[in-house]
Amino acid sequence: MNAQSQQKKVFEENMFSPLPIALVGALVNGTPNFLVIGYICPFDFGRYLFFSLYKKRHTRIGIHEHHTFSVNVPTENLINEVTICGSKSGRDVDKSTLFETFYGELKTAPMIQQCPINIECEIADILDYERNDGIIGRVVKSYVNPECLTDGKLDMQKVHPIIWATGGDFNYYQLGNRIPQEEK
């Protein structure tokens, strides 16, 4: 073992943190319901999304029934609604009253109008991990508020996403400054 590796400390928490949180939506018993997912992963160049869903979650019912869901990226000004979605079950609280919802191509994936980024997905696969489902969704369509674009590209500083430290102190943060890069 070299001297540099001796200075490292073993860290058992999630190292890919912080990440923007998402409000995942599904129709449950005909009503839009949303829960907070703090770790969602795009892959295949954003054509698919993966997240882990605790099997006791109310939203899981709608995802399994309709094989669709939405991913909504909330802004900092939605922190109170995010807190409710992350701390209250849809069994006890009607979360559809927190947001104005809309539907795209999929008629069973409720999306949140107040969120600047919305993605509607259909289930590609569900992996069984004992207490959790590994949800793999194929992105059907993505939507963005035009004011969050700069030169036709998504500008995360204009989105103002809520960032969650899943492997640190488990708190919410704001996105930091962009790092200037030299032109190539």
The domains of the chain, with CATH numbers, are: 20-174 (2.30.110.10)
3-state secondary structure 10-46: CCCCCCCCCEECEEEEEEECCEEEEEEECCEEEECCC
Give the CA diameter of the chain.
60
CA dihedral 153, 158, 160, 166 (to 10 degrees): 30
| Predicted TM-score (pTM) above 0.85 | yes
Tens of pLDDT, residue by residue over 63-113, are 999 999 999 999 999 999 999 999 999 999 999 999 999 999 999 999 999
Q: How confident is the model at residue 4 (pLDDT cuts 50, 70, 90)?
A: low
Q: For residue 85, what are its two tokens?
A: 């979605």
Distance CA 94, CA 74 (A): 18
For tokens 């204009």, what's the residue? 158
Helix (H/G/I), strand (E/B), else coil: 80: helix
Provide the token pair at 19.
Answer: 């990440």
Residues counted in the chain: 184
Where helices occur in the chain by DSSP H, the ranges are 3-6, 59-66, 79-87, 156-159
- Per residue in 144-173, pLDDT (tens digit) is 999 999 999 999 999 999 988 776 677 888
Distance CA 94, CA 32 (A): 8
**DSSP track, 112-144:** ETTSSEEEEEEEEEEEEETTEEEEEEEEEEEEE
Separation of alpha carbons 50 and 55, rounded Å: 15
Rounded CA-CA distance 23/71 in Å is 6
Average pLDDT (109-136) is 97
